[in-house]
Chain A
Amino acid sequence: MTPDIFFVERRTEEFPGTFTLHVKKQTDHEVPPFRPGQFNMLYAFGAGEVPISMSGPVAQSSRYIHTIRATGAATRTLERLREGDQLGVRGPFGKGWPVDKMAGKSVLIIAGGLGLAPLRPLIYNLLAAEQAVEDVRLFYGAKNPAERLYGNEIKNWSQQISVYSSVDMATTAWQGNVGAVTGLLAGATVVPEKTIAFICGPEIMMRFAIQELTNKNLPRSSIHLSMERNMKCATGHCGHCQWGPTFICKDGPVFCYEDIQQWFHMREI
């Protein structure tokens, strides 16, 4: 599969080392539609390809939005792209968040650090009232106030949905919660039959969040998470993203906790 040629329409720096690219197709055509939770393979010319989740609204048909942390050769090259620069895009790939299961439910969204990026399209859906849900609560944990994604946007969201933010560490300039986000979650009331949870963040955080939710008797079938593994082809042929019997690129990256419970708690798998 050869990449399609896209160009950077806009670039914003979230905080040093993490940035968001708005990319459009070179020929100004509509981009293939995606579902929240899916990802693209972004190719930085000469450097390599990386899987990055969609982070923009589904409704916007002319561009993709991707939030990226610069850690390796490919992402560092993507970091140097400016408006007008070109990149390669393959996708969309993967299984997304099960939005069809949200109707009438109390929606819990639990995000840790960069994990908010793959959840943002879902949040956009909910804000646009695409599905009739009972209520929406976002729990967002970050390292410190400067390393929160979409800070100003979150302020706007809190006018429509309940937002509970926490950071691990802060100076007194931060008036919000300081502590592990799972601590905030512990204080939430959960009605097991009516709640659905979507979780994305570092695996340790997801482990503890799931522990909190199961302590509150939320059924395992109502918990959905997004997983990450090494990816090369994104088409289920290179074998790198295997996780037990699943391929993260085509059976995931979103999974229902009930389906993958055995693998989630296994080490070095």
Chain B
Amino acid sequence: MKNLAELLHEHPFFSGMREDYIQLIADCGENHVFRAEEYIARENDSADHFYLIRRGRVAIEIFQPSCGALTLQTLQDGDIFGWSWLYPPYRWTFDVRAQTNVRTIRLDGRCLRGKCAEDTQLGYDLMQRFARIMTERLQAAHLQLLDIYSHQQNRTGGEI
């Protein structure tokens, strides 16, 4: 049975991180399993946690009246989600639902913020990792937004 630090070590998000930092972060964490169809987070709920997916798939969703829930993106083994705990007002921006049973490592946001404040080098390392993930998500979102598969190209221009 691996301990939390070993599990974090294995997760791609923390690849190459110093052992002592991994240990510090492990102090903020625990294993948590979600059942399929369970809602992990809801838009506007208090955002207290940061999740690493060990195994399973989650859907990032947004609710639209008269359409119901729309899936914006899915994430699976090796991905991470939930960084609203980084910035006030610390609220989830979207819904997150487990599509399958999901094994996660759940890290407490307040605990992490505290550790980053104490050791700014740790904070910098962590922020770099987040920034890279966010950039990838943003690029993907732009590509999705382009609607490249549509039959008609309805991106007509116009003056200001």
Q: Do chains A and B touch in the complex (CB under 8 A)?
A: yes
Residues of A within 8 A of B (CB): 144-146, 148, 151, 155, 165, 168-176, 202-204, 207, 211, 215, 265, 267-268
Interface pair B160/A144, CB less than 8 Å apart: no
Chain B residues contacting A151 (CB-CB under 8 Å) are: 158
Interface pair A175/B159, CB less than 8 Å apart: yes
Give the distance to chain B from A167, nearest Cβ to Cβ, in Å: 9
Interface pair B157/A145, CB less than 8 Å apart: yes
> A203–B88 Cα gap in the complex (Å)?
23
Chain B residues contacting A204 (CB-CB under 8 Å) are: 62, 64
Known: A144-B155, A151-B158, A174-B157. A169 touches B62 (CB 8 A): no
> A148–B146 Cα gap in the complex (Å)?
19
Closest residue on chain A to residue B146 by CB atoms: A169
Interface pair B158/A215, CB less than 8 Å apart: no
B65 within 8 A of A: yes
Task: Tell me the number of A-to-B contacts counted with CB atoms below 8 Å.
Answer: 53
Interface pair A146/B158, CB less than 8 Å apart: yes
Of B68, B91, B154, B157, most A-chain CB atoms within 10 Å: B157
Known: A203-B64, A204-B64, A267-B63. A169 touches B157 (CB 8 A): no
Residues of B within 8 A of A (CB): 43-44, 62-65, 68, 88-89, 91, 145-147, 154-160
Closest residue on chain B to residue A145 by CB atoms: B158
Known: A203-B64, A203-B65. A145 touches B156 (CB 8 A): yes
Q: Which 9 A-B pairs have the closest CB atoms?
A: A145-B158, A173-B157, A171-B157, A146-B156, A176-B160, A174-B157, A203-B65, A169-B155, A146-B158
Chain A residues contacting B159 (CB-CB under 8 Å) are: 145, 173-175
Give the distance to chain B from A66, nearest Cβ to Cβ, in Å: 22
Interface pair B158/A173, CB less than 8 Å apart: yes
Closest residue on chain B to residue A155 by CB atoms: B160
Give the distance to chain A from B149, nearest Cβ to Cβ, in Å: 14
Known: A204-B64, A267-B63. A165 touches B155 (CB 8 A): no
Closest residue on chain B to residue A173 by CB atoms: B157
> A175–B160 Cα gap in the complex (Å)?
6
Give the distance to chain A from B159, nearest Cβ to Cβ, in Å: 7
Chain B residues contacting A168 (CB-CB under 8 Å) are: 145
> A111–B160 Cα gap in the complex (Å)?
17
> A175–B159 Cα gap in the complex (Å)?
7
Chain A residues contacting B145 (CB-CB under 8 Å) are: 168-169
> A170–B159 Cα gap in the complex (Å)?
10
> A174–B154 Cα gap in the complex (Å)?
14
Known: A168-B145, A204-B64. A265 touches B155 (CB 8 A): no
Choose one: B43, B62, B155, B160; the contact of A171 (CB below 8 Å): B155
